Amino acid sequence: MKNLLIVITFLFAFQVANAQMFSKEKVLNLENFDKKFLTWGYYLGLNSYDFNFDYNQNLSDIQTLKSVGFNVGLIGDMRISNHFNLRLEPGLIVSNRTLHYQSDYFQGVAFQDNDLIREVKSTYIHIPLLLKISTKRLNNFKPFIVGGVSTALNLSSNEDNPDDNSAGQFRTKKNMYFYELGLGIDFYLHWFKFTPSIRGVFAINDELVRDTDPNSPWTSNITSMKSRGVFLNFTFQ
């Protein structure tokens, strides 16, 4: 579903861009929009998060079942020059992942089928600071790349919960740090600027809160567990 939405979005973007490029009519919409020092907007979107694991021992990989979450937030854009903008995009990111363990993690330990599955729900207050680098405007569209860093507060982390996996609670850290890279196209419509974009988000710090038992089958073999995700955002300014 996620891949289909991405393909449809960028096929649409390509068709509009292609029409703008080769159209004989070159009426510019919002001609002075990018000359403003500050602009504002909001975004809606979808996300798909995964985990990247590093392990202590050579056991089976922990499988992550991903699902599609949603993004919503605000945009503050500061013009630096014709091709560079600094952007602050605070938002709410909701995602859900399910971890599947293999039985070799429980060698010598009695377990039930539900011990092999852990659900990880994440609700991030996500605050990225991004540098947007744009090409020259072509009629009513302008491609760009974007990159930067972000911090996030996970409201669903369970970091302070005294119960751990022995009581069925998989815990993650509250405070996370990421770097982000993406690309998109600005479309200048009659009344507003519409921007579809795709972005990769990669955690810098380990997100796992380890169990009290140092030999816990759920956490003892994990050296680091870092989130990584893909955002498909639709921006309106």
Per-residue pLDDT reduced to its tens digit, 131-149: 999 999 999 999 999 999 9
Strand partners, 152: 126, 176
Domain boundaries, the chain: 2-236
Q: Averaged over 166-192, what is the pLDDT?
A: 95
Q: What is the predicted pLDDT for the residue at 45?
A: 97
Q: What is the predicted pLDDT for the residue at 5?
A: 46
Q: What is the predicted pLDDT for the residue at 27?
A: 85
The percent of residues above 70 in pLDDT, for the chain, comes to 89
Please indicate, yes or no, whether the overall pTM of this predicted structure exceeds 0.75. yes
Which residues are CB-contacts of 228 (< 8 A; sequence separation ≥ 6)? Answer: 49, 50, 51, 52, 200, 201, 202, 203
User: CATH number of the domain at 2-236, please?
Assistant: 2.40.160.20
Q: What is the mean pLDDT of the chain?
A: 90
Residue 7 pLDDT > 80: no
Q: What is the predicted pLDDT for the residue at 49?
A: 95
Residue 2 pLDDT > 50: no
Q: What is the predicted pLDDT for the residue at 11?
A: 47
